[in-house]
Amino acid sequence: MVGWSGSRVDWWNCDAGSEVSGEGVPPDFVAGHAFLGPAHRMSAERQPDHPTTRPPDRAKRLGVIGSFVWDVIHGRDPRNAPVEEWGGVTYSLSALDAALTNDWQVVPLVKVGADLAPRAREFLRGMRRAAPDAEPIVVPQQNNRVEIRYVSDERRSEVLSGGVPPWHWLGLKPLLRDLDALYINLLSGFELDLEVAQLIRQHFRGPIYCDLHSLLLAIQPGGLRTPRPLENPEGWLRCFDLIQVNEDEMSLIAPDPLALAATAMNCGVASLVVTLGARGVVYVNAPGFNAIDDLKRRGDAAFMSGPVQTALVPAVLARVKGAEQDPTGCGDVFGATLFSRLVCGDTFSIALHSAVKAAARNVEFRGASGLAHHLRGELIPS
């Protein structure tokens, strides 16, 4: 059983795989009218702009908001030579490509600088699940580039350069109309501002997954990314159905895990997932949330009854060790796989274990080019 210490959940010290229900849980954390309140009912302000029904013969479309990033990585290769390759959203796209079923298509809503547009198009052409109309959105600015220096497998510094502009609502709104689900990974932290995120929430009726990622990073004059607290966390949390953060990001949003979970649930979040690196992941799910279709029932009294669900799920060990491991993109692969399997109909538990396994497979592979083949267990084309 997960231990509770004062107002804090001792997730780090509990047995992996254990779960928490209402027994022994602080009363303000157990589902009930005093805790969840109206935020967990379907928002009356959320007015969809696209049709409510989809022709049965049309493939379902999963939109992706993120950033193409060109990485220069130091300290990963055993020869100590810098490695240059795609990073950023390419890890998420690879995982979506590997995990989605044939009846889903990936629609990238991703801007790319003109200097790297040909390479971005080539990457998308290599995807099996890319929609026929999948194209990067080319902007005249230099593409985002990140210089990464690893201190350890789980600690690194990042220096960002480039100038891909954020989305404005008038440009993004028409691109959401024929989507069935939306995956957002704030890889630069500047893809969306809060106003655009709120407008997405108001106008898009499908499930929305968000990895907050670099939203919790400031940028210094020389491009160095440094941690920063999240302004108006409640405003951001209300914009998404499922939210992913890592342990460091969590500490910048709330003083302790329980406080973040309570805030997220009260803001209408159905699932909060915290990645812990080699220790695995912790999740907190709202009462009644076990599969993506449960999001449609959030106004039902039965949905809101009962305790939250939480557990620590251990990481799967990679089949390589030491310098052969590459942790780059593990969180991106995890989140994209989790959301893919959920929209394809898996229960949360099954989807979560698929995501943990995919993250472990990512550790065994270097870079994003060919990653989808590796995640599927296929030979990498030469």
pLDDT tens, per residue, the chain with 382 residues: 233 323 334 444 444 444 444 333 333 333 322 233 334 333 334 444 544 455 667 899 999 999 999 988 887 665 567 888 999 999 999 999 999 999 999 999 999 999 999 999 999 999 999 999 999 999 999 999 999 887 766 677 889 999 899 999 999 999 999 999 999 999 999 999 999 999 999 999 999 999 999 999 999 999 999 999 999 999 999 999 999 999 999 999 998 888 999 999 999 999 999 999 889 999 999 999 999 999 988 767 666 667 899 999 999 987 766 656 678 899 999 999 999 999 999 999 999 999 999 999 998 888 888 999 999 999 887 6
pLDDT at 80: 66
Helices 117-125 and 89-99: crossing angle, nearest 10°? 10
CA distance 352 to 294: 16
CA distance 59 to 353: 26
pLDDT at 43: 39
Which has the closest alpha carbon to 14: 313, 381, 333, 334? Answer: 313
pLDDT at 250: 94
Helices 89-99 and 330-343: crossing angle, nearest 10°? 40
Q: What's the topology of domain 3-40+57-376?
A: UDP-N-acetylmuramoyl-L-alanine:D-glutamate ligase (3.40.1190)
pLDDT at 365: 87
3-state helix, strand, coil in the chain (%, to 5): 35, 25, 40
Which has the closest alpha carbon to 362: 353, 351, 352, 373? Answer: 373
pLDDT at 8: 35
pLDDT at 23: 35
Which has the closest alpha carbon to 65: 205, 241, 217, 183? Answer: 183
Residue ranges per domain, the chain?
3-40+57-376
CA distance 58 to 104: 9
Which residues have CB under 8 Å from 197's CB, separation 6+?
A: 236, 239, 240
pTM assigned to the model: 0.85
pLDDT at 229: 94
